[in-house]
Amino acid sequence: MEKPRIKPKQGSILISEPSLRDFYFRQSVVLLAEHNEEGTFGVIINKPIEARLRDIIKGFSGYNLPVYLGGPVKTDSLFFIHTHSEISMSIPIMEGLYWGGDLDVIKAMLKTKIMLPNEIRFFLGYAGWSPNQLDRELREKSWVLSQTTVGEVINDHPETLWSNYLKSMGQDYAIWANFPADPTFN
């Protein structure tokens, strides 16, 4: 099952192979927010956790927004992506999608409904790779690299992303979508 080789870049996604057993990365889809000679970082976009934003950050008590498990690095820190280019200190990831920014501005935009809940995602932690580490993991076939859209990243049903991406990549990958998270349940 050889997919045409594309290079990792900011805005692409990693789809974990079914055999990847790591707690964080099993059946994960990772959005790459940066990839360069210094390394790679991104966030897992398909694993909502039980906590809500109001439970995690002081001053957001009225905000019942979901929070996602972003990855194993800095799990005590909150990160976010959004669709609003006008937010100061935001970094573009891809056309129409941005990393970070001024949290006070975000709060005000959510309160006034200038920003809607489906235009932002919050994450605890992030995924990071040292220089060349991701390239090695791709050669080892731990991940399938693919392209994405903002609509796919900020999706109403993140729990189905892993299987949906696999199914969209053709029959060879679609069979992986039916693999159980724990093969002992097979």
For residues 67 and 43, the answer to whether their CB atoms sit within 8 Å is no
What pLDDT was estimated at residue 169? 81
Say how many C-beta atoms besides its own lie within 10 A of residue 6's C-beta: 11
Q: What is the pLDDT of residues 153-185, one digit of tens each?
A: 998 888 888 888 888 887 777 777 666 655 554
Distance, in Å, from the CA atom of 32 to the CA atom of 42, rounded to the nearest integer, reads 4
Q: Is residue 166, in this structure, part of any structural domain at all? A: yes
Domain assignment of residue 5, yes or no: no
- For residue 5, name the pLDDT band (cuts at 50, 70, 90): low
Q: CATH no. for residue 72?
A: 3.40.1740.10
Please indicate, yes or no, if residue 8 is contained in any of the structural domains. no
User: Which residues neighbour 112 within 8 Å (Cβ) at sequence distance 6 or greater?
Assistant: none
Number of domains comprising the chain: 1
Domain that residue 153 falls in: 13-185
pTM value is 0.90
**120 is a domain residue:** yes
Selected residue with higher pLDDT from 6 and 156: 156
In a domain, 4, yes or no: no
